[in-house]
Structure 1
Amino acid sequence: MTAVERAKREKAAVQILQSNIAISPIRNSALVDIKYTSGSPELAAQIANTWAQQFIEASMDRRFASTADARKFLESRLADLRTRLETSERDLVNYAAEKGITALGTSKSADGRTEVERTLVSSDLEALNAALASATADRLAAESRSVRQRGASPQALTNPAISSLRQRRAEVASELAKLSVQFEPGYPASRALAEQLQSLDSAISREEARVDSSRSTEYREAQMREEGLRRQVETLRLQLGKQSRDSIQYNIYQREADTNRQLYDGLLQRYKEIGVAGVGANNIALVDVAKVPDRQSSPRLMFNMALALVAGFALAGLATFALEQIDEGFREPGEVSKQLQIPLLGSVPNIEEGDALQQLMDAKSSVSEAYLSIRSNLAFSTDHGVPRAFMVTSTSPAEGKSTTSFAMAVVLGRTGKNVLILDADMRSPSIHQFLDADNAAGLSNILAGDNDWQKLIKPSSFKGLSLLSAGPTPPSAAELLSSDRMSMLIEQLLEHFDHVVVDAPPILGLADAPLLSKAVEGCIYVIETERVAVRGVRAALDRLHSVHAHIFGGVLTKLSSRHAGYGYGYGYGYGYGDTADTNARDG
């Protein structure tokens, strides 16, 4: 077997496995269900178990591969950070030794920074400052003692030798006083006591002088000690100031060392965590091993039949809904009465060759016959025959509305009636073009205030047919039609004409046709085959019904022969002497 054949067979095997395997998670749990469909029960169980086992092994391989890459990356980063940490700590120690900064106490801040609380210099300065304060106090006390009067100091008063001498002098003085009372001052005993008293005074004076001398010595010593301590404090103060300035760079080295240490510790912790995760237990386990099934899982006949039945009903409903939504307009004459609930006055065939006006002038044409049939049906729509004043409208432009208006007027004129066709479509007038007449003045002038309507009536070459054109296009046709002049005009026209046919504007988007419907007996509604949607026609008719307009019926125009059914294929053109042409077409 070649390598190409082996690759093709492997691809086919993979496609078979993927098309028959089904893996679905179980809701509200961390379990996954693995199913494999095969014609062999043993093979299905083996593939399901092997699939799960291979997934577990692949997951472990991916985990080890990812942790190995992470460990390799972290090892390189740890080596770099270790070097940076050693360098920063070495710089810190060297700088401290160079500047004589000896930290006696350090602390850690909330963000992990090392802060030096005390140095050796600051500690010495603190101790010397305390000693200086004590020496100053001693010097002040000695100075206070030295300036007191001789013998008045507490040391002299409390000195035992002086006290003993004073006590002895008091005794001698007492005895001398007794003898002085009894004997003369020259009495030998009195003289001896006087000499003894003088000797005691000299001893007391010498002792007090010695005490005073000791106080002076003590003061000088205290002063010298204070001065020595003050010089040492000043020296340490200057040294501490220099050390404070040096501590700025020291703190920079300290922060750099702290930062590198934090980065190193964090990366080392991450490295240990990855190592633990790499050797950790796998979180995927087989809960239930696939067993060889003892019965087939498919096909399930009853389930498939029920599913097919439900799917059939669903597709049928969907198709029905789709067909209802597809609105292509009216295709057959019978749909007008069924869809719109209005009478069908007739249908007009589509003219594939020639002009509609030429067809209308030929009384033998199918178009002329169609409108004659519409005129007959219109006569039966009322109890007094053809309405004397009616309008012709449609849903949208170009449905054959103006042609139907002109045709109805021509057909009525042929019956010997005096007919006026009134072009009320002042926005897009067209009736004057059928008669090759001008449109310089017309209905818009009358509605604007011109009461001499007789001069605006134009005769035509058709029997019994006259024209009142639309006239210049007004700024607001609806505003002119909303007045009572239109109804008054129709009443005056009916005094001179048997019928008034009004060519009205289309309904959708305009207010003209609903306003015109109030001035006539009713309207003929023109509908073009397969053009306007049924929804649009219904909306237009609802607007007419909302103003209580009377609708005589509908006329379906431009009906093709394939939709005409039996009527146009047989009726029109029969009995007018064109037998050869008819036979040629039928043949």
Structure 2
Amino acid sequence: MNSVTPSLSRFPDADAPLLNDVPDETKGPIDLRAVWSAAYRNRVKLLITVIVAMLLGLLITFLSTPIFRADALIQIDQQAAQILAGTDVEPSESILDGDRFLQTQIDVIKSRTLARQVAESIGLYRNNSFLEKMHITPAAEPRGSYNLVQTRREQVVDALQKNLDVELPVDSRIVTISFSSPDRQLSAQVANSFADSFIVSNIQRKFNTSAYARRFLEGQLAQTRQRLEESERAQIAYARSAGLIDASSGSSEGQSSGPKSLTTANLIQLNQAYAQAVSNRIMAEQRWREASGTALLNQPEVLSNAAVQVLIQERAKAQAEYAQNAKRYLSGYPGQTQAAAQIETLNNQISRIASGIRDGVRQQYQIALSQEKALERDLDRLKGTTLTEQGRGVQANILRREVDTNRALYDALLQRYKGVSATAGVSSNNVSIIDRADPPITPVSPRLLLNLALALFTGLLLGVGYVVLREHFDDAIRSSEDVETELGTSMIGLVPMLAAGQSPNTELQKVRSETSEAYYALRAALELATPTGAPHSLMVTSTGPSEGKSTTSYALARGFAQIGRRVILIDADMRKPAQHRNLELPNKFGLANLLARQATLQEVLQHTTTPNLDFISAGPLPVNPAELIAGLGLAKLIDQIKDDYDIILVDAPPVLGLADAPTLASHVDATLFVVQANHARGRQARIALTRLKAARAYVVGALLTKFDAKVIGHSTDYGYSYSYGQTDPRS
């Protein structure tokens, strides 16, 4: 007996993958139609979510406590704290740091320190009135390491910070300090208190800056004074131990050309005296040399002597008288002798005085020479002493410079301290109030329109989230795109959903009905499914029951028969047969009897009212249908009738849970997989196709049944409308 197992190689895609091996070309950009479809399918849930959210928004709006917001405006100028004229204790801010400066001031306003100052200034710590107005329950027990009073104070500070808002517009120095509370008066009072406290705090910070500078300078002055005293003591102690006496202590400050010790002073004076003595000795020596080389009476000192001049005059007078008398008297005359003796006496006197003068010049030279030698000896002695003293003076100079440095530093710090003390706290305030806060008239919250908008947005967000989650976990097959992406196989046809009250058989009787046109299109697609035309033997199955496989089998058998093909329809669903009802034929004997060898083919073969269409019903329910189908009877049947019929259609049971369909698929040329829209699940359908693939079945394609474009949110002209505006007289 020849095998009736079909050769899968006759079909070009017999070994093609059936599952998700097909690349998904629909992924990438967002499919707006798929988004709309998901939203449309879940429109009721979306609408309910939005309505509930809007109602909750209205309820929250009407139950919320009105909140009043008061605003105080202050101006903050960028100004450094000027402590001294021409100098800054705080560095001035550049224009580029203006934004940073303003942000710093805003952070100061928001600080807990300023909040505590506000609470103290307006008495928020006195009782629980502030907390009650803010609808805050006062703490009944201490928190952390705080006692109960401190805990409630922290509650007040937290409430102030939480309801405080500080805003700074772009390109402006006007800062808005806002405070929100359920009480109008309280909002304005707190906002104004923040503005006042910030101004006071700003001034106090500047004063603290100058006070810190004064304290710092006082400490530096004390340290510098101590160092100055210690350096002076060290200098004096070293001078005493080294025997150094400062000869310049009485000189005016800044004169450094005077002698620094007595030895140096003596050396300077002695050097000056020695120079003078050398000069005097040279002059005296020159005079003596001139005097010793010149006639006695020709020396200028002799000629200029008054006594010599008188004697010379007297001698000249005596000589004149002697010469006058010599004309009358002889030399021996007593008068002449007396005159000659007088002249001789005068000459002796002149010679004696001249000799004395010359001896005085020589004596002056000898004295000058002696003084020079004596000063030279003393000078040599002081030079040695001075050199010895200079070695000890190096350390003295080091100590002296340290004293001078400490004194200069002390004087500079003292002047700085005097300036800081004189100008402390005189800087102008750079913060001023522009507008004080007034009690607000209308509340800022709740805001009905805003709350409704937020509720609408929240409802849409929740609804969309629900839809996204539902679509993510929902793998129902709804459209041709789902068939291709979920199952990895092409869709060969699409059958629309019947309206309520319509019967498939009735619609198939109408030549121009959408159902008839859909099956006409399926028949044409099967004609083109293989290179040799429609498959000779074709099994129709599905994932589960009630997906339209029996109707599809009946419609295909009827359609092929109407175009002249010899067709036999075999109802192989022996557990739940349906074809005998579609054909209005009996089911007393059928395939079960034939496979069990209880009847022959002629006994179970039935002719229908449709020309060219024969039928084998399922027959009575057997004990084990799977064993009957697994036997050789079905293969023999197909082999027996293949030459008598052009098309052999087998209406098989569902794949999942049963072994019948994979077994039947191994005996036919091709398999048509029926998928019910909005009912079949992708995972189950993939499992069913996997079982068919394991049986080496060739799935010619998938048929999507009971498709309703409106249900999934697609337009009615989804691409499968078969209405041409013609009226069928039989419809």
- The answer to which structure has the higher helix fraction is 1
State the TM-score, normalizing by the size of structure 2: 0.38
| Larger RCO of the pair (alpha carbons < 8 Å, separation 6+) | 2
State the TM-score, normalizing by the size of structure 1: 0.47
